Each structure stands twice: as C-alpha cells, then as structure tokens.
Amino acid sequence: MKLWRRQPDPRRHTRRGVAYILVLSIALIVTTIGVSTLLLARTQQRAVRMAEQAAKADCSAQSLADLTVFRLNNNPNWRTTYSNNVWTTNEIVGEATFRLKLVDETDGDLADDANDPVRLYAKATVGEAVRIYSARLAPVTPTNLLSNPGMEDGTVNWTAWYCNLETRSDQPHGGTRCLRVYSRDGYWGCPYQTLASSPQNGAAYQFRAWVRMESGTSGVILEIETGASGSGTLQVYGAAVSVGTTWTQLTANLTPSWSGSLQYTYAIIYTSSGSTSFRVDDASLVKASTIGQMAPVPGTWRREVLP
C-alpha cells in the first residue's frame, strides 16, 4: 500500500521570509525612533544647559560692571593699579570666571588725567557661555557747598568781615570775574560765606580756592567755623600757604565736628598777617569722599560682540 505524503508548499517559506523581514523592519524603526528620541533629549538638555549658562554669564557680566564701579570709587589709586586696555587675570566666583579691562578712549593713558573718562569692559564666562558688557565711566562732579564760587554773580552770598568786597573783571582766574578783598582792618579782615547746606558732622571735607595778593607775599588760610548748642564756636583750618601776586591754589582737608544742634557753618578765607588786599576765585568746599568718584554715562551701556 502506498502512503500519501503532502507535498511542501513553497509559498509557506515565502510568507515566513516576509514576516521575518517585517519584524526586522519594525525593530529597526523602533530602534531609530529610540535613538532619535535619545538624541533629541540630549540636544534639548544641552540647549537648556546652554540657555542657563548664557543667563548666568549675562547676569554675572552686568554684576561685575556694577562691582567694578564700586571698587574704583573706593580705590583712589585705581588709575595706576590698572593698565590701559589690558584684561585682568581671571577671578573665579562660583561657576563664573570674571575678567575686566579699562580703556582711556581719550589718549590711551589712564594715569595722566583724573578727569579723563574711561570705558569699562566686564567679561563673564560660565561653562561655554561668554558675555561682555561695557559702559563709559566719567568723573562725578562733587556737590559744592559754596554758592557763587566763581564770583560770576558779584558778591552775592559772600560777606565782608572788617573789610570791603567787590568783584573785578580784570585778570580773573576763571570765568569773567573774581572777588577783591580790600580796606582790611587787619589780618582778620576777610570774606566768608554762610553755608546753606550743612556739612556732615565728623566727615572730611576739602576746601579749595584760588588766591593772589595785590602786592607782596602773605600766608593765606582756609577755615571752617561751626557754632553749635553743645560745643559752641569751633574752628578747623589748614596751614598758612605763602601766596604772592600770581594765582595760587590753596587746598585744606578739614573735618568739622560739633556737639549739640548745629546753628551755623562759615567758610572763611583770611591771611596770617598784614592787611594787604587780595583776590579770590573758583572756590569749592566738597565732601572728600566724593572726589574722584566715577559713574556710568547714560546711554553708553552696551553688550559687546565677543572677540
């Protein structure tokens, strides 16, 4: 008896091959999607990290600029401490690396003129992010406690003590007029001014004035006198400076102090001897701590293109 055997179906093998290829294709697609998702996640993480670093660098650069202005205003020798247009060495604070430089855009010399403005560059690096900001800094004009300091308004605000006062237009030191002090009864004959704004008790002040004698030579003294309910009348004054017939600038660093309620403050200019007529011009009385202060010039703040 002959057994019946089913013949192989070639189409069955074909279907198996198609299914295998289909499985491989799906696996490849899934793998590709997984890799792409992983790459996308990493790219997004990098973008987030870069954005975070950029924000920190941006904030750090601006903070460095503010801090540098504070440092300059508390370092009277900063113009010789820094070199023109030279980056400082790295200063690391937390994640940020700081550098700065100062550029005298007038003549390239920081130290030659205290009135020259400078451009401050503040650079901060956080990770791969770098930011540089700059601003132009200029000297701040201190508040002068004296009124009519250049005598351009005549003798207004100046009072004669045992002398006469007038303003003259011949040979002023600055502007168009100067104060003439004449008909003096003695060395005490002098001009003085009552300060409209009271000085700060115990604070240092710089009293300056240009003076010249009309003949001969005499010592000239700058003085601050205060009257207070507790301490009464007190004087602080600088050393007598020899002045001749050419304009000479006098400077006295004075620290007035008193007890009780302040009643008046006088700024006085007199000679140590004699009664010779003299002239005064361009006087100032300013708080010493405000001299040489720098501040950003409005409209000059900018973000720099990275080098």
127-165 residue pLDDT tens:
989 999 999 999 999 999 999 999 999 999 999 999 999
* Within-domain flag for 149: no
Cα 5 from chain centroid (whole Å)? 104
Listed in sequence order, the DSSP H helices in the chain are 10-73, 78-81
For residue 3 the two structure tokens come to 């057994």
Number of domains in the chain: 2
Mean pLDDT in residue range 294-307: 88
Residue 136 sits in the same domain as residue 256 = no
CATH number at residue 206: 2.60.120.260
* Within-domain flag for 2: no
Q: Measure the CA–CA gap between 104 and 138, rounded to whole angstroms.
A: 11
Look up the domain containing 78 and give its range: 13-140+293-307
Residue 117 sits in the same domain as residue 189 = no
For residue 290 the two structure tokens come to 């405000």
Check residue 83 and report its DSSP letter: P
Residue 207 sits in the same domain as residue 93 = no
Residue 233 sits in the same domain as residue 298 = no
- Closest by CA to 147, choosing from 189, 197, 200, is 197
At 200-254, the pLDDT tens digits run 999 999 999 999 999 999 999 999 999 999 999 999 999 999 999 999 999 999 9
For the chain, where are the E strands, in sequence order?
91-93, 96-103, 118-126, 129-139, 159-161, 164-168, 178-182, 190-194, 205-213, 218-228, 232-237, 241-243, 248-254, 262-271, 278-287, 294-296, 302-303
* Within-domain flag for 3: no
* Within-domain flag for 8: no
Residue 136 sits in the same domain as residue 172 = no
* Within-domain flag for 191: yes
The pTM of the whole model exceeds 0.75? no
Residue 238 sits in the same domain as residue 122 = no
Residue 106 sits in the same domain as residue 172 = no
The answer to whether the beta carbons of residues 168 and 277 sit under 8 Å apart is: no
Residue 285 sits in the same domain as residue 298 = no
Which residue shows structure tokens 């503040």? 122
For residue 229 the two structure tokens come to 């309910």
